[in-house]
Amino acid sequence: MSESLMSDGSLAGRAGAGLRLSAGLAALWRVALVRRAVVLAGLAVAWQVAAVWQNNPLLFPTFTDTISALVEALAHEDLLPASIASVTVLAKGYVLAVALALVFVSLAIAVPFLKEVLLTLTAMFNPLPAIALLPLAMLWLGLGEASLLLVMVHAVLWPFALAALTGFEQVPETQRLVGRNYGLKGPAYVALILIPAALPSLLSGLKIAWAFAWRTLIAAELVFGVSSRAGGLGWFVYRNRNELLTDRVFAGLVTVIVIGLLVEILFRLVEQRTVLRWGMQR
Amino acid sequence: MTVLSPILPPVAPVAPLAALPVLEARGLTLDYGHGAGRVRAVEDVSFTLAERERLVLLGPSGCGKSSILKALAGFLRPAAGTVSRRGKAVTGPGPDRIVVFQEFDQLLPWKSVTDNVAFPLRVAGGIGRAEARERAQAALVKVGLARALDAYPHTLSGGMKQRAAIARALAAEPDVLLMDEPFAALDALTRRTLQEDLLALAEAQGFTLVFVTHAIDEAVLVGTRLHLLAAHPGRTLASFDTAGLGLAQRGTPAFEAVVRDVHDLLFADGARHV
């Protein structure tokens, strides 16, 4: 490229092309996705260099080995069904817990005493890692989806209930009065005033709850993977570790991370179209 | 309330067209808190509001003028006395009495300016989306917001937000407009323009208004009648007819004389109670 610029001969043309190039790069750099991609590429390079340096595929496979194991496991092994199984169980537990939390929060707002109950329960259970409930869940509900659902509901319910309660309580008084002024009552008042007004807190609660649920699920699946015939992602990781297929263990972990990133992007998109666009959150 | 009919005759000459006052407060007493911590905000305040009248509640802070407005709107239940609209007791808030608040966050941040104005038409008036938006935009053009129809409230200046809030109230065509110090949080220049624009709209549309303020010149300018209140607790001090004092009279000796009289009245009372 510099050859062709040299042959152009004119210094001004060279400087102009350089300027254009740097302006183009600056414009690219302003795209968040590009910056993220650069970070990821940097990490991948660092990983590859470190793994080649170590030269111990059994303990630390290279980035390229991991990617080929990932492709292989997706195409010929049960990584895809395992991922689908995990995401399905997660969705069930998440929806169940969020619905329960909304019922609890509604009751807590309606009855002052129940608010005390909810705050006490949240203070008690929030610090208790959901995975610590797994032995009890297995004792009560056996090895199966029900146990997974129990620990996941526990992981999601308390942080989300707390965020939702805070969100509803922080709805500005003026907006409440405006809603009542229009004659809104009951469910219409909640749906048209309270929920949109509390949306920043609700969304951040959903985001925190999602991360808790995903972590808890993968950890629980490491213990047993019989939630469905395919087992989950955690079970995939655990099984391959037992067979010392370390590149597949890494492939499983990469899948966990990628699904996490995809959901994060989904939340970002929702935030951009709602609370950020409305200036309710910076 | 049973005493309603005996007091009707003296009101009738003021409002010959409407048999009943648009809004009436009778012996209004308002308390905050419960039990031992109960504080009396307003004591035994009465007034009536006829069609097309602009009543200003004026007084120092602590005179309960905003509380009275909240009671008129139906947000606050009186400890004693009644509020009635066209002879019917007010029992709760409703879209027949749209309130314009002082706070800028009265516009719902998740709706564009047009949708903010159209929203009460849709939920309270049962009007379809297209027609509601059309009426909303017409109202917004009237208050001078033609360029901000699709903007979200957080992108507007304070003055534009209050304009949008006024358009929201006008478009809903309530029986009576209630305004709680709508210009108090604005800079002096914006306040002055908005006062003038509000008066022009009032002349053009002839709406009925209750306006709360602590600024005497604003009260004389906006109101056709002033209801002066003393503080701690809020009580009626006097009533002034200022129907003849509008934009054209601003700064004239007659206007200033009324401002001075009102000031002396409020000040004398304040000196007695502080």
In this prediction, residue A7 has a pLDDT band, given cuts at 50, 70 and 90, of very low
Verify whether the Cβ–Cβ distance A182 to B123 is below 8 Å.
yes
A118, A168 contact by CB (below 8 A): no
Verify whether the Cβ–Cβ distance A172 to B152 is below 8 Å.
no
Phi, psi of B55 (to 5 degrees): -95, 130
Q: What is the CATH number of domain A63-273?
A: 1.10.3720.10
Neighbours of B98 (CB within 10 A): 27
What does the pLDDT look like over B119-174, one tens digit per residue?
A: 999 988 888 889 999 999 998 998 888 888 899 999 998 889 988 999 998 888 88
Strand, coil or helix: B133: helix
Q: Which of A70-84, A115-129, A249-263, B11-25 has the lowest mean pLDDT?
A: B11-25
In 3D, which of A32, A61, A57, A28 has the Cα closest to residue A44? A61
Q: Which of A182, A193, A279 sits opposite B95 (nearest CB)?
A: A182
Interface test with B, best of A170, A171, A176, A182 (most B CBs within 10 A): A182
Which residues sit opposite B49 in a β-bridge? B23
Using CA coordinates, name the residue in chain A closest to B118: A182
Contacts of A189 (CB under 8 A, 6+ apart): A179, A180
Verify whether the Cβ–Cβ distance A196 to B108 is below 8 Å.
yes
What residues in chain A have their Cβ under 8 A from chain B's Cβ atoms? 172, 174-175, 177-178, 180-184, 188, 192-193, 196-197, 199, 274, 277-280
Position B14 scores a pLDDT of 46
B64, B83 contact by CB (below 8 A): no
Verify whether the Cβ–Cβ distance A178 to B106 is below 8 Å.
yes
Using CA coordinates, name the residue in chain B closest to A182: B95
Q: What is the CA radius of gyration of chain B?
A: 19
User: Could you tell me the two tokens for A84?
Assistant: 């689908």
On the question of pLDDT at B6 being above 60, the answer is no
On the question of pLDDT at B9 being above 60, the answer is no
Which 3-state string (H, E, C) describes chain A? Answer: CHHHHHHHCCHHHHHHHHHHHHHHHHHHHCCHHHHHHHHHHHHHHHHHHHHHHHCCCCCCCCHHHHHHHHHHHHHCCCHHHHHHHHHHHHHHHHHHHHHHHHHHHHHHHHCHHHHHHHHHHHHHHCCCCHHHHHHHHHHHHCCCHHHHHHHHHHHHHHHHHHHHHHHHHCCCHHHHHHHHHCCCCHHHHHHHHHHHHCHHHHHHHHHHHHHHHHHHHHHHHHHCCCCCCCCCHHHHHHHHHHCCCHHHHHHHHHHHHHHHHHHHHHHHHHHHHCCCCCCCCC
Using CA coordinates, name the residue in chain A closest to B178: A181
Verify whether the Cβ–Cβ distance B93 to A181 is below 8 Å.
yes
Strand, coil or helix: B107: coil
Position B210 scores a pLDDT of 92
User: Could you tell me the two tokens for A108?
Assistant: 């807590």
Using CA coordinates, name the residue in chain A closest to B111: A278
In 3D, which of B108, B224, B209 has the Cα closest to residue B165? B108
Verify whether the Cβ–Cβ distance B123 to A177 is below 8 Å.
no
What's this model's pTM, rounded to 2 decimal places?
0.81
In this prediction, residue A177 has a pLDDT band, given cuts at 50, 70 and 90, of very high
Position A66 scores a pLDDT of 93
> What is the distance between the alpha carbons of residues A54 and A48, in angstroms, rounded to a whole number?
10
Using CA coordinates, name the residue in chain B closest to A189: B123
Average pLDDT over residues B14-41: 77
What is B64-86 written as a DSSP string?
-HHHHHHHHHTSS--SEEEEEET
The pairing of beta strand B225-230 with beta strand B80-85: unpaired
On the question of pLDDT at B272 being above 90, the answer is no
Verify whether the Cβ–Cβ distance B153 to A279 is below 8 Å.
yes
Which residues sit opposite B211 in a β-bridge? B56, B179
B272: part of which helix (H) or strand (E)?
Answer: helix B253-273
A101, A157 contact by CB (below 8 A): yes
On the question of pLDDT at A269 being above 60, the answer is yes
Strand, coil or helix: B109: coil
Position B13 scores a pLDDT of 46
Using CA coordinates, name the residue in chain A closest to B107: A175
Q: What is the DSSP letter of B234?
A: B
Q: Work out the percent of chain A whose per-residue pLDDT is above 90.
A: 55
Which residues sit opposite B25 in a β-bridge? B47, B83
Residues of A in contact with B92 (CB under 8 A): 180
A249, A241 contact by CB (below 8 A): yes
Which residues sit opposite B55 in a β-bridge? B210, B225
Residues of A in contact with B67 (CB under 8 A): none
User: Could you tell me the two tokens for A213?
Assistant: 């649920």
Position A258 scores a pLDDT of 92
Residues of B in contact with A197 (CB under 8 A): 108, 110
Interface test with A, best of B34, B69, B111, B123 (most A CBs within 10 A): B123
Task: Please list, residue by residue across B225-253, b when 16 or more beta carbons sit within 10 angstroms of its beta carbon and e when fewer do.
Answer: bbbbbbbbbbbbbeebebeebbeebbeee
Judged by a CB distance cut-off of 8 A, whether residue B35 touches chain A is no
On average, the pLDDT of chain A sits at 88
Contacts of A14 (CB under 8 A, 6+ apart): A5, A6, A8
What does the pLDDT look like over B79-109, one tens digit per residue?
A: 888 888 888 888 889 888 999 999 988 999 9
> What is the distance between the alpha carbons of residues A181 and B97, in angstroms, rounded to a whole number?
8
Q: ipTM of this predicted complex? A: 0.85
Position A1 scores a pLDDT of 40
On the question of pLDDT at A93 being above 90, the answer is yes
Q: Which of B98, B123, B154 sits opposite A192 (nearest CB)?
A: B123
On average, the pLDDT of chain B sits at 83
Judged by a CB distance cut-off of 8 A, whether residue B77 touches chain A is no
Counting one residue from A and one from B, how many pairs have CB atoms under 8 Å apart? 63
Q: Work out the percent of chain B whose per-residue pLDDT is above 70.
A: 91
Average pLDDT over residues B187-206: 86
Verify whether the Cβ–Cβ distance B99 to A178 is below 8 Å.
yes
> What is the distance between the alpha carbons of residues A32 and A34, in angstroms, rounded to a whole number?
5
Using CA coordinates, name the residue in chain B closest to A177: B75
Half-sphere exposure of B131 (CA within 13 A, CB side): 8
Residues of A in contact with B124 (CB under 8 A): 182-183
Q: Higher confidence at residue B269 or residue A163?
A: A163
Interface test with B, best of A177, A180, A181 (most B CBs within 10 A): A181
CA distance A275 to chain B (A): 8
Domain ranges of chain A: 2-54, 63-273
Indicate the Cα dihedral angle A67, A68, A72, A77, nearest 10°: -50
Verify whether the Cβ–Cβ distance B154 to A175 is below 8 Å.
no
In this prediction, residue A12 has a pLDDT band, given cuts at 50, 70 and 90, of low
Contacts of A201 (CB under 8 A, 6+ apart): A163, A164, A166, A167, A168, A170
Verify whether the Cβ–Cβ distance B73 to A181 is below 8 Å.
yes
What does the pLDDT look like over B47-57, one tens digit per residue?
A: 889 888 899 99
Average pLDDT over residues A30-52: 91
Position A163 scores a pLDDT of 94
Using CA coordinates, name the residue in chain A closest to B101: A174
Verify whether the Cβ–Cβ distance B97 to A181 is below 8 Å.
yes
